[in-house]
Amino acid sequence: MEEAENGSISSDSISSGSISSLNFDDSAPQGVELRHLRYFVAVAEAGTFTHAAERMYVGQPTLSQQIRRLEEFVGTPLLQRRRDGVRLTEAGTVLLEESRAVLSLVDHGVSRTRQAAGLGRSRLRFVVQPYLPPTLAAAAVSRLRSAAPEVDVTWLETALDAGFSSILQRRADAALGWMSPTDRALPDPLDVMDIGSFEPDVWVPAQHSRAANGAIGLDELARMDIIHGPRHADPGTYDAWRSVLRTRNPSFDFTDPPFQQSLPMTLAFAATASRPSAVLTGPCRPGGIAPQATADAGRHEMVPVRVEGAPLTAIAGLVWSTDLPRELQQVLFETAEKISA
């Protein structure tokens, strides 16, 4: 089958692993292959060549060379190289969206073809959002594997945006993450099932007047310096909690943690602050369960407390595409039921 008159990609061009046209006009770049697009998407999503090379199991020099070749084919820079990683140019942003669409169609087509031929097992690409409580993430993995041992599951640890674009754009089939209040009515073809409500731990100085009774009011908390974030780790929950605190203090804003991967170091930093400071974790424990003191309390002179009235909560949800085969949707529904039980 040759390229159609409307510019669609022919089956011959896909099977050979080469796409002869990206914008489907006479000046389109020649020689662009699917691997170039896969490498480009990996770099754009990972943010650095090093992390993208690890994800794609190729050497960094090879990856850099292929991205340069792609830019030569297209005729314009696609990435801005910086010390802290890469950023997409305007052209790169366009190509990223188109590349994802092309690769999704190819992968989906191959999967359906194999299923039609009776080859292989059903496949499911499942996103687990970073910074989920370890017990929740572990429960999802365990329940899904036990519910569908015959399904090949690809686990993707990546952030979810508010619109669940990774599923809508068919880069993933299902996801476990935090839901915003507006997510309860998701657009087609998405469906969701709530897993449960989770609250953060709030750490305050041991000498704070509220430390003894294990609870602090929202008004008092909003007047403290609160270390929480960074925002990109979970923008939906971050913004929702900031809005709640601003109802009590309109000028309130979070302070980014000085040590993003170490709660003990952040606690030590907050304990020595010049003014009253608190540390707010992400959602980490089921709603209604009191925080548990640990050895960190004495070591860093900070103790965990709950927020009175539980105004800071997050709902965990399992989201999937209703375009999935009915048997896979049933597996996801049963998994969500078992986790929330």
Residue by residue, DSSP assigns 167-227 as HHTTS-SEEEEEE-GGGGSPPTTEEEEEEEEEE--EEEETTSTTTTTTEE-HHHHHTSEEE
Q: Which CATH number, 3.90.1300.10, 3.40.1400.10, 1.10.10.10, 3.90.10.10, labels domain 11-116?
A: 1.10.10.10
**Domain 201-311 part of CATH 1.10.357:** no
Domain with CATH 3.40.190.10 in the chain: 123-197+315-340
Tell me the pLDDT band of 173, cut-offs 50, 70 and 90. very high
Element (H or E) spanning 151, and its range? none
Q: Which CATH number, 3.90.1150.10, 3.50.50.60, 2.40.40.20, 3.40.190.10, labels domain 123-197+315-340?
A: 3.40.190.10
Core vs surface per residue 16-49: b (16+ CB within 10 A) or e: eeebbbbeeeeeebeebbbebbbbbbbbbbbeeb
Largest CA distance in the chain: 76
Round the average pLDDT of the chain to a whole number and report it.
82
SS3 label, residue 109: helix
Q: Tell me the per-residue pLDDT of 229-280, one tens digit each, with 9 for 90 and over.
A: 888 878 888 999 999 999 999 999 999 998 877 888 899 899 888 888 999 9
Residue 31 corresponds to which tokens in the numbers above? Answer: 């020689």
Q: pTM of whole model > 0.75?
A: no
Query: DSSP character for 231?
Result: G
- The set of residues, in sequence order, having a beta carbon less than 8 Å from that of 17 and lying 6+ positions away, is 33, 34, 35
Q: Tell me the per-residue pLDDT of 24-46, one tens digit each, with 9 for 90 and over.
A: 344 445 678 888 999 999 999 88
Residue 81 corresponds to which tokens in the numbers above? Answer: 């190289």
pLDDT at 275: 84
pLDDT at 307: 93
Domain with CATH 1.10.10.10 in the chain: 11-116
